[in-house]
Amino acid sequence: MTRNEETGEILFDLQNDQEWIDALKSLFKETEIGQQYKSDYYVKENSQSDADQLLDAVEILFPLEDNHASLNQLAAALRNLLLSGAIQPKDKAEEEPLEAPQVDLTPRDKNGRALNESQLRYQEYRQWSEEASSAEVNLRKQSDPGYASYVRKSLQAEMSSTSVGDSVENLNANRQPQNSGVPSDVRAYATKYRTMSAADVRKELSPGMNPWGPAAAKEANRLFEAAVADGLI
C-alpha cells in the first residue's frame, strides 16, 4: 500500500491479496456506491464473481501503475458495473405465499349462528319452492313427507299471521283439485278454501277466532291438512 504523492490518495496493490481485501472493505464502508452495492447488490454466492469483475473493470478504465489503484478509482469502476447492469441487483427475498383465506361457508342465521340440520333442511325447502312449479310442488309433497309437512306448516303460518290483511290474495285460489280417492268433505273444503280470503281462512283455523268455537276450528284444521296432503290446496 502506497500513497500518491500528487493527490495524497492511498493506492492499493491489487495483486496483493491482503491489500485487495482492505481495498474492498474501504470501498464498501467509506464510499456511497460501495454502501449501495452492499445494500442492494451484494449476494454472498456472487461476491467472488463481482470482485473479479471489479478488478477487470478498474484495470480497463484506468492506466494503473504497478497494479495500484485508489479508492476513488475502485468506486468509479464499481459505479460503472452497476449502471451498465454487469452486476444485477439482488433478488428481493421471496415473500412467503399468503395462505388463501379460509372462507367459512357454513350457512348462518341473521345472528351469525350456524344453522342446524333442521334449519338447513327448511332453507332447502324454501329455496326449492321459490323456483318450483305448482306441479313440481305437488309431486314432491307426495314423495317427500318432510317437504309436505313444510308446505302445510308454511300455509298455516301464513294464514295465522296477524300481519296478513283481509285483502291478501289467496295464492292457492287457482289450483286445480286432484279428486281421485279424496273424501267428499275434503274436496268440498278445498273448493270453499279457494274462494276465501286469507283473513277468513285464518279466522276459521284459529280456535279463538272461529265464530263456531274450538271444535269447528279443529275440524277446519283437519280438513285443511287433508286437503294440503292430497295436493288440493
Collapsing DSSP to helix, strand or coil, 56 comes out as helix
pLDDT at 53: 92
pLDDT at 162: 43
- Location of C-alpha cell 492511498: 10
Name the helix (H) or strand (E) containing 2. strand 2-3
Measured CA to CA, the distance from residue 29 to residue 186 in angstroms comes to 100
pLDDT at 132: 80
Measured CA to CA, the distance from residue 173 to residue 194 in angstroms comes to 4
pLDDT at 100: 62
For residue 7, what are the contacts with CB-CB under 8 A and spacing of at least 6? 70
- Model pTM above 0.75: no
pLDDT at 33: 93
pLDDT along the chain (233 residues), means of 10: 74 86 90 91 89 88 80 90 89 56 72 82 86 80 86 74 46 49 86 80 84 88 86 79
Under 8 Å between Cβ of 159 and 205: yes
pLDDT at 37: 92
Under 8 Å between Cβ of 175 and 194: yes
